[in-house]
Structure 1
Amino acid sequence: MRNFKALNYSFENLQKKNMAFEQVFEHIVKFMNKEPQGNYRLMFGTDSQVHSTYTRFVTGIVIQREGKGAWACIRKVAVPRQMKNLHEKISYETSLTEEIVSMFTEARKSELIDIVLPHIYKGASFTIEGHIDIGANSRNKTRVYVREMMSRMQSMGIEPIIKPKAFVASSYANRYTK
């Protein structure tokens, strides 16, 4: 039997580089524990940019306390070729988002929910969203993939968000694809 090396997931933000997923999760817990009665949105999204010899994919993780700030980080992945097929690129972006979402196991989601649960009747809330860099308007070339990609997010138990509201993919992650 061969030994398989665990995938190296490295996350970063402006304050810290080379964070393991456990560190990312600890930051989210710490952020939520500061104000457990807040309204929280845990959001994920991936965007990509085709460069001359590779395609860079950036997945963002954002925990937002509505009206009171956010904590965020990214994960970068490079595919060593120009990925020009739109369906392939959108599908891979969605896969990378799903990969990160899957790291938030039921136990980890329960830990986050347990932070706000005692404060639900005082207005606290917690939602999980998958931001997809696609749009449904008639001018958007990605509109033909909206149903497929939204179904994939829903099947993971998270709320799919598309343009123009998918800011984790279309704004935050996009900034780091260049």
Structure 2
Amino acid sequence: MKSDGADHYSFRNLKKSNMSFEQVFDHIIKFMNLRPNGNYRLMVGTDSQVHAKHTTFITGIVILNEGKGAWACIRKVIVPRKMLQLHERISYELSLSEEIVSLFTEERKDQLIDIVLPYIYKGASFTMEGHIDIGAGKRSKTSKFVTEMVSRMEAMGVEPKIKPDAFVASSYANRYTKRRNG
């Protein structure tokens, strides 16, 4: 099997650290195979936190079976400077999400769809979402970036979600950005 560059990523969750993307993908397949008739949402989102001498970026990957549980992991990237420009930081968050979304090649997405396919007529489903840590509200400092960031996610063939629906970025990944050592 030819390499798609996915082998240089490192992911972790509460149970396991230093997982390759291949291992993450295997976990997602195993999780979906437990209940192939489920309603699955594969979600990728990134959040950041500016610290004194660096900026921490956490990208979360979550496979959710609606009402039946989830499996998740994170990837941490540290930029060795304070990224104070909001547009630069939001754009970089999205770039990291896009990077992970791109690892879910058409072939890999087809493998996931094939799990639920025999159960589609019984209500099974699979969607892939890109969670963007921005809001469209009038009081949101990020509202002026919504069109640009949503367009980038749509261009990747992924359903964009913004706050309050972007919980992988705004809640799951956010938890890990606050920690000094991540």
Question: What TM-score bracket applies, with the shorter chain setting the length?
Answer: over 0.9
Query: 2:19 corresponds to which letter in structure 1?
Result: M
Corresponding residue of 1:42: 42
Structure 1 unaligned regions, length at least 5: none
CA distance in 1, matches of 2:107, 2:172: 27
Shift in Å at residue 112 of structure 1?
0.2
The aligned residue for residue 170 of structure 1 is: 170
Shift of 1:7: 6.9
Query: What amino acid sits opposite 1:162 in the alignment?
Result: I
* Shift, 1:37, TM fit: 0.4
State whether residues 46 and 169 of structure 2, in contact with CA within 8 Å, keep that contact through their aligned partners in structure 1.
yes
Measure, in 1, the Cα distance between the counterparts of 2:86 and 2:8.
Answer: 27
Q: Deviations over 1:24-48 (max 9, x none)?
A: 0000000000000000000000000
* In structure 2, C-alpha distance between the alignment counterparts of 1:159 and 1:37, rounded to whole Å: 21
**Could you tell me which residue of structure 1 aligns to residue 28 of structure 2?**
28
Taking the TM superposition and a 5 Å limit, the aligned residue runs for 1:7-156 are 8-156=8-156
Hey, what's the Cα distance between the residues in 2 that align with 1:152 and 1:7?
25
AA matched with 1:84: L
Shift of 1:8: 2.6
Kindly state the Cα deviation for residue 132 of structure 1 after the two structures are TM-superposed: 0.2
* Distance in 2 separating the partners of 1:31 and 1:6: 20
Residue identity matched to 2:38: G
| Partner SS, residue 161 of structure 1 | strand
TM-score normalized with structure 1 length = 0.96
Quick one: structure 1 residues 6 and 46, their matched pair in 2 at CA, closer, same or farther if it must change by over 3 Å? Answer: closer
Deviation digits for residues 125-152 of structure 1, max 9, x if unmatched? Answer: 0000000000000000000000000000
The one-letter code of the counterpart of 1:83 is M
Partners of 1:96 and 1:167 lie apart in 2 by 16
CA RMSD of aligned residues (A): 1.1
Q: Which amino acid aligns with 1:175?
A: R
Aligned residue pairs, count: 174
TM-score between the two structures when normalised by the length of structure 2: 0.94
Cα–Cα, structure 1 residues 142 and 154, in superposed 2: closer, same or farther, change >3 Å? same
